Structure 1
Amino acid sequence: MAPRGLIPAAPARAGLDAGELAALVREVDALPARGWCGGAVVAAGRGPYLAVEHAAGWAVRWTAAGARAADPEPVRTDTPFDLASLTKLVTAVLTVRQVERGGLGLDAPVARYLPEFGAAGKDRVTVRDLLTHTSGLAPELPFHDGHGWDLLWRQPLTRTGTCYSDLGFLALGRLLERVTGARLDALVRAEVTGPLSMAHTGFGPVPHAAATEDQRRPRAKADRGPLRGVVHDENAHALGGVTGHAGLFGTARDLAVLCRALLSGGGPVLRPDSVALLLDAPGLGFAVDQPWFMGELAGRGAAGHTGFTGTSLVLDRATGTFLVLLATTVHPVRPARPDSRPRAAAATRLARAVRGPLPE
């Protein structure tokens, strides 16, 4: 069955060049052999058309660091991946949905809805500040060392300007639960994945997901051993696996459906003006025009995000294009120096594939 809102189609029907998309597929095919990732799935298209859906490499290539699997398991187009920080995009959608309904004010203090957050001088931090990473919160805290939520409530502001922070989206997840009275996983199902028929997206555990890391200190923040189907992020794991900054698993086609919904005005999840709040610069949750992972799609208002496990998503309202690249760059261990060049190269291939206006 085709994903809701998407029509599998030849590149020409989508106004895309077949040669550029063939090159995109070849380059993704080469990534596991190069050692950039264990496995990858790419989905790309334009408007309602899904022109590329391709898998390369292995869902499980190593049983542990340095121990190659005797029978590696190939990745498939419907293999779920740990989405890592792409979770933040769904949290942002849920937050703007509550703003749309009048349950939240973007410029209202977070402490109005979540009083414990206001401790340690955080009483003036707004919902918008959390969404734009301008709250002054540090990037992260060591929940993985046995701490609970009180560690965040006691945390003072330590930064100025823009500072990417997992803590802001951790707080947003709790804020959404407080305002709605529902758990975050239930909210995601009711408000996003259910209405969009994203049947393969949700919080773990997901036993058949692509494996991530043999997680051990000192390269990681915790000693958990080989991970498959449980959240990779150490802090999300320590807080129960259902958080606003990480924890979702999903497939490339499900995320392509989300891209299509946003590109077509948000229905049935958001109104067009709410989509504009998310995607217009500087973006709410979404990063805007970032060439380091968007390649040549950046420059006209492209929006998206990346995830630590190797995931990325880009959508471009100017051309109607979308690109989802899910990969396991941490399999079997995280790289010493992350490399986003393959993400940018894939986005550039899609940008160069655009031929004329979007077909009707």
Structure 2
Amino acid sequence: MSKGTNDLVDILVAKLKRRQLVGSSAVAQATLKLLIVVISKNNWSKANDLLNLVRSVGQRLIEANPTELAIGNIVRRVLHVIREEFRDAEASSKSDDNSEFQSVPLTTSSSMYNLLSETGSDDKEFTHASSNLRSDIIQEVRDIRIELDTIYENIKNQATNHIHSNEIIMTIGRSRTVEEFLKMASSKRKFHVLVAETAPSYLGQQMALELSKAGIEATMIPDSAVFAVMSRVNKVILGTHAVLANGGLVAISGTHMMAAAAKHHSIPVVVCTGLYKLSPLYPHDEDSFNVVMNPDAVLGFEEGDLMEKVIVTNPYYDYVSPEFVNLFITNQGGHPPSYLYRLIVENYDPNDHTFDPLA
């Protein structure tokens, strides 16, 4: 890796470690911007060299802040692009070579054999050079960047299909995706939004304020009132920090309580999220995805006598099981939790689900 590129990696690693860069969207944008530089500014002649280079950069970024799952998702998307572009280039090259010696088209059985052999391949096949590979990969990665730029637009354009007039909607915390979604729906529908205050961060207060400024009738409720008023709600709309491979959510603390209350009252739960938040990881250890914040917001230091007798934890995220979610609204349309496995197959290569040590 060139010195200039390595310096850029160090800068982003430092920002992630110090939490100067937070939020899935900002982290994804920064990661993709860096990987474009890594691909374009470094010398590599074979696709396998580039795979190892991108994987090593991705490993450093993930280790800097393991709870920002969007980093790994973007790195895996880029690795998938590299593999796909190489396979296309190699298939085109083989097709040209075969055309010189064969005038008879390939049979269906041989084509299927080639397809299966490519699908089951590993990094050992990525050793041949391709003259146009660099420009093709950069163009595809830039297409991912365009996708990130238009995510909010694509999701909010589906709002009127899911929100109807005079409905009572409940949400929690402040999610830009949900905020844009509700604002778009309010241009054609009149509805009421109940926002849980999300103590101790109180992001729900900011959400209620922004919705009110947009002309939406919004009421902030304490977290303790969620179950009590859930029976009057028509729909729960949630944002999320990440979506795991089984359809579970890593979302702001309090989301699990709201989703469980909705399931008890048979209220549909809709999650608005971009596909860049979809991770191929499974929740084998739910705590590994969480962030523990300063407990002072829950129990202040002035309660000195009590603090000596208790242990206080202030988790920032909840894990929400997939059975609590009815529908995911993504930038590529609406999908049930059972369909997420297909989206993972389309966007990530099985070889990249975990970052193994480089050979």
Q: Which TM-score applies when normalising by structure 2?
A: 0.25
Q: In terms of Rg, which structure is larger?
A: 2
Name the one with the larger helix percent: 2
Name the one with the larger strand percent: 1
Choose between structure 1 and 2 for higher RCO, CA contacts under 8 A separated by at least 6 residues: 1
